[in-house]
Amino acid sequence: QVQLVESGGGLVQAGGSLRLSCAASGRSIMWDAMGWFRQTPGKEREFVAANSWSGANTYYTDAVKGRFTISRDNAKNTVYLEMDKLKPEDTAVYYCNAGGSIVSSDYYPSQHWGQGTQVTVSS
């Protein structure tokens, strides 16, 4: 069973940057596709970004393309989400997901989630 812990969230002004980390333990994630999702109160959790087990293939929702970058360090069993040019609408709790499926560029999450980290972007 894999455990995921997100960190790096916080309060930032619009136009600023944050780097989220998702540290995995319990087993290696080197063969897992990994994804980031976000959720705001009253709304469903939405997909943000994903990458394949090798990191060679990356996928983003249109709202973050060109601003967010997903990456991974399999030696550290960690996945990152670099968020630049942040906007107030990026405010959400961000969740990491391990071991989902990528089908036709869509990431289908597994049941393995972290506890989330809050990102707040002020205008």
| Count of CB atoms situated within 10 Å of the CB of 11 | 12
**CA 6 from centroid of its chain's CA atoms:** 9
The pLDDT score that the predictor gives to residue 54 is 85
Residue whose C-alpha is closest to residue 23's, from 122, 117, 110: 117
Q: Which of 83, 93, 89 minimizes the C-alpha distance to 121?
A: 89
What is the pLDDT averaged over residues 63-90? 97
What is the average per-residue pLDDT within 99-117? 95
Amino acid letter for position 100: G
The answer to whether residue 7 scores a pLDDT higher than 90 is yes
Residue 83: which of 1, 5, 13, 2 has the closest Cα?
Answer: 13
Nearest to 77 by CA among 37, 26, 118: 26
